[in-house]
Amino acid sequence: MGGKIRYVIFFVLVLSVFLVSLCFASEIYYFVDEKGVYHFTDLPDDKRYRPFRLWESGLTKEEIEYAVREISNRYKVDPLLIMAIIKVESDFNPYAVSIKNAQGLMQLAPITQSELGVKDPFDPYANIEAGIRYIKFLLDKYKQLELSLAAYNAGPGAVDKYGGIPPYKETRNYIKRVLKYYKKLKGVKLAQ
């Protein structure tokens, strides 16, 4: 009986949070701690928080591939490269949030979101479109895939400061992971 009451209380809590968020149009974040306790806030101060959605996006990998192909063609960027970046950045989770608060499928940093005019980084289509515009800018600027990936990961300032790939272990591993997955994808066609 106690378990049923907990579920009813949880349902009422979730419904209340959802209704309050609708009324105030504020983003609500949550996480579940190691004891199974749910934590909600509108000002996340812990990397474990993720946006609260009553319904998840429901996007399949094929729908993400379709969006990537359509937007990549518009910006003349290889869609397989974008799929490799998404795989490494978020593993196709549109609600991914990094330790540094990069968000969405392509893990856009808040400053990059602002520069690209992204209003909702958890909107998969907006995130993909902005991420593709950003990598296109970097590819045009650096003319080399490895330097562009380094700038995507560490920022253009770091690439410019070091005159090449920064000596950051995370960035060097990032480049290797994206290139490895990119080569793997070249043998596989995207969903039509």
Which residues belong to the active site?
89
The span from the CA of 115 to the CA of 111, in Å, is 6
Give, in order, the Cα–Cα distances in Å from 105 to each of 50, 96, 173.
13, 7, 19
**Per-residue CA distances from 4 to 12, 39, 43, 67, 82 (Å):** 12, 20, 30, 41, 45
The most distant pair of C-alpha atoms in the chain lies apart, rounded to whole Å, by 65
Closest alpha carbon to 104 in 65, 48, 50, 180:
50
Task: Give the separation between CA 145 and CA 138, rounded to whole angstroms.
Answer: 9
Q: Mapping DSSP to helix (H, G, I), strand (E, B) and coil, where does residue 12 land? A: helix
DSSP string, 110-154: HHHHHHHT-S-TTSHHHHHHHHHHHHHHHHHHH-SHHHHHHHHHH
Asked whether the beta carbons of 85 and 131 are under 8 A apart, the reply is: yes
